[in-house]
Structures are given as C-alpha cells and as structure tokens.
Amino acid sequence: MTDRSAPRGAARAVALLCLATVATLAVVAVAQVPTPTRRPSTLDEQLWHFDASPLGPVSVGVLLPHGRAANARHPLLVAFHGWGESQRGVDAGAWGWAHDYELGASDAELRRHGLRVEAFLGFVDPARYQRLRRDLARRPYQGLVVVTPFTPDTLDPDAGTVSLAYADWVARVVVARARAELPVLTTREATGVDGVSLGGLTALEAGLRHPETFGVVGALQPAVNRRVERVLAQHQPRGLRQHIRLVGTRADRLTRHMLELHDAMTARHIEHEVRLVEGPHDYVFNRGAGGVEMLLFHDRALRGMPAE
C-alpha cells in the first residue's frame, strides 16, 4: 500500500505557509507609511468624534490655519484620504491628511515668500512650477479650513450603498457641524470636496451627489477604474453649477481610467477640467505635489477666482 499521508501533509503545510505569507504581506503593505519628513506645519489640529454614522463611531480631523485672525472666515474643504489609511482604524484614517500626507507642510510651503521647488518633493514639471510660482507672487495663498473624515473602503462593487449613505452623512452632518463651530464661510460656493485615490472616488460621489452643499469638486488620482458609471450615476446638478477638476499623474496606472471618466463626462456635457501633473501613486505625491495642487486649487476656486 502506498503511503499518501506525507505528501498530503506537506501540501497542507505549504498551503498554510502561503496563506500566512499573503496575510503578512498585506499587513506590511498597510503599515508601510514612510518616515515623517519633519517639515514645519502651519495648520492647527483638532479631532472630532461622532458616536453614530452609517459606519458606526467615526472620527474627523480638523485643520485650521495657524495664527488666523479672530474674525477671519475661510472657505471649507472636505478632504478624503486613500485606501491605506482606511485599513488602519478611524482615528488613524482621520489623521491621514494631517500626519501621513503632511498637509500642514504643503500649507506652509504655499505661505512662503516665493514657492520653492522643494514643496513638490521632486515631482514637478519645470514649466508648471514656474507658472504656479508666478501666480502665487501675483495672488498670494490665503488658506482654508480643512476637515478630513475617515474614509471607508468602498472599492468593492457591492459597496455603493455604504458609500452613498456615508457621502450623505458627511454632506449633511459633518459639513453642518463645521459651519456651526468653525471659522468658515457657509455658502455652497465656498465649500469644496476633494480626495486622493479611494478618497478621490469618494469625493466625486459625494460632490456630484450633493451640489447643494459642494460648489467645488476635485479628485486626485481617483480610483475610478471599473467605476465610471457608478460615479456618473451620482451626477444630480439640479440647476446648480459646480467647478469640477480631475487631477492625474503621468506615472500612475489609474490615470487612463480617470481619462475614461473625463471622456464620459465630456460626452454627457458635464463641465469639468483635467490636469495632468508629475508624480507616482504614492505618499510622496500626497505629501508634495498632491497636497500643493489640492490646496492651491481650492484656495482660488472657493473664493470665486480662476484656479490658475
């Protein structure tokens, strides 16, 4: 009689080892946030906790311009983080833009007397850098109040219901609290939404679904692959004009899907603009060009000025 127990046992051991390896790699991938750059920040931080939302208890980061005048009111930007932070818990996610993406450092760079190329962390086209530098010399950056909700993982095809319920909650509950408690302008024209990757998808769905709340909608490297129709299904203009901008990078594999969304929006006569810049789909983009582009765009658009 042939003994098959040893091969079966070995195969089982190999299978278990493979599963353990995959699980370990997944944990490592989620945990691989780069070392902070320790650049100075010009944004003060708060953290809001909500006991109830469509997800249960969640947190929202609040970033306020440092040294702001007591009576000053700023435009309000809601910014959603990417997928990695969605895997690390509601508090870590809410701090994604402040801590992992170092948005306060981008704010500080925009407030300098003369935009430095270092603000982009190595990823900027020289012509674009000079254009933004000249524009900032002519129209100095004024700043925003930014709220950064935890962003749930809604990439799965069956996650649309959760995504829309959460978008409704942010538009109605988080924005309402921000307008009541923070030094912000309270009109839709002065309220924007944006995000990166997963957060870009969330921003598009929330923004297109709620034009009564968001006058300006942006998305950085949005994760719209196989989700173009899902995004466009939320377009409910109700006669309200929105300033919509899509930003992709030439090195990002998701950019071709963003351009598919651009083509679909053009075919449906949805007014928008597209910007292609430099940088990978990685933290270095979020900390550099991504943060600079997002803040500068909304600083202008939410004050009714041309973005560039």
Q: Tell me 117's DSSP state.
A: G
Neighbouring C-alpha atoms within 13 Å toward the C-beta of 26: 9
Cα distance between residue 207 and residue 222, in whole Å: 13
Whether pTM > 0.75 for this model: the answer is: yes
Contact assessment for residue 148 and residue 60, using Cβ atoms and an 8 Å cutoff: yes
Helices (H), the chain: 5-31, 83-86, 90-94, 103-111, 126-138, 160-169, 175-181, 198-209, 228-232, 255-267, 283-285, 291-301
Cα distance between residue 211 and residue 161, in whole Å: 19
C-alpha R_g of the chain: 21
3-state secondary structure of 151: coil
Instruction: Give the H/E segment covering residue 59.
Output: strand 58-65
Contact assessment for residue 220 and residue 200, using Cβ atoms and an 8 Å cutoff: yes
Cα distance between residue 260 and residue 283, in whole Å: 24
Length reported for the chain: 308
Q: Which domains does the chain have, with CATH numbers?
A: 44-301 (3.40.50.1820)
Residues of the chain with pLDDT > 70, as a percent, come to: 90
Q: 137 is written with which tokens?
A: 């010399």
> pLDDT per residue over 86-137, tens digit each?
999 999 999 999 999 999 999 999 999 999 999 999 999 999 999 999 999 9
> pLDDT per residue over 209-237, tens digit each?
999 999 999 999 999 999 999 999 999 99
Q: Tell me 74's DSSP state.
A: B
Contact assessment for residue 78 and residue 93, using Cβ atoms and an 8 Å cutoff: no
Provide the pLDDT for residue 308: 85
Other Cβ atoms less than 10 A from the Cβ of 6: the count is 8
Distance of CA 270 to the CA centre of its chain: 21
Provide the pLDDT for residue 178: 98
Q: Are strands 191-195 and 76-80 parallel, antiparallel or unpaired?
A: parallel
Give me the torsion for CA of 183, 187, 189, 195, rounded to 10°. 60
> pLDDT per residue over 283-292, tens digit each?
999 999 999 9
Residue 34's pLDDT band, with cuts at 50, 70 and 90, is: confident
- In this predicted structure, the answer to whether residue 16 has a pLDDT above a threshold of 80 is no
Enumerate residues 6+ apart whose C-beta is below 8 A from 224. Answer: 200, 201, 204, 231, 254, 257, 258, 260, 261
Contact assessment for residue 141 and residue 167, using Cβ atoms and an 8 Å cutoff: no
The phi, psi pair for 219, rounded to 5°, reads -155, 130
Residue 158's pLDDT band, with cuts at 50, 70 and 90, is: confident
